[in-house]
Structures are given as structure tokens and as C-alpha cells.
Amino acid sequence: MSADEPRERRMAENEALAREVNERVGDVAAAWYGENEQLEFVCECSFDDCSARVRLRMAEYSRVRSSPQWFVVVPDHFAPEIEREIDRIGDYVLVEKIGVARDVADETA
């Protein structure tokens, strides 16, 4: 275990919690909103005090959820020690978890 692994695991667990919140938002919103309406999701970053919001259509968020290692964050919340950028969705960054964060993403999917 590396010296940074406990910190990276905590960061990844914060992201997994945000993903869980967003999945519930998506489940409820699917019944209430049209496909092209933007919904407000929480930033799926590793910062435990983040209050940033990400506005996406359900199809865009479904793309994020198509892989258990993918998360969406605001650009200045990108954490290169636990993720890599794979794309942009509008103003937001689609990231893929790496290392221990990938393990946590898989465990919590």
C-alpha cells in the first residue's frame, strides 16, 4: 500500500457518494422531465465540501453512467492523482478513475 492510498481511497469514496446522489436524481427526474431538458446534478468530484452543480440532459448523464469508472466534474475539480480526463461534456469534464480510485468505483457501482 502506498502512502497516498488511504487519501486516494477517501477521495474516491466522496466521488462514489456524489454518484449515488446523482443516480437517485436521475431516477426521479426521468419521470418528470423531457429528454432534452437539462437537469441539475452534483459535481462528482473528490472534494467533500463541494457544492458545485453540473447541468446535463439525461442522455448526457446516462453516457457518464455507462461505465462504473466514469464521473463528471467541473473543470477546476479535476484530480489527476486519481483520474484522467477522457472527454468534455459541454462545460464539464468526463473523467475515468485510475489506481485505487478505480477499485473504489468498481466496488461501489
pTM of the model: 0.87
State the cell numbers at 43: 459535481
Per-residue pLDDT, 9: 86
pLDDT, residue 3, reads 65
Q: Give the model's pLDDT for residue 2.
A: 65
Distance CA 93, CA 88 (A): 5
**H-type alpha helices, 1-109:** 5-32, 58-64, 99-108
Cβ–Cβ under 8 Å, residues 26 and 39: yes
Per-block mean pLDDT, blocks of 10 residues, the chain (109 long): 78 87 83 82 93 93 94 97 96 96 92
Quote the cell numbers at residue 61.
448523464
pLDDT confidence of residue 63: 94
Determine the pLDDT at residue 12. Answer: 87
- pLDDT for res 83: 96
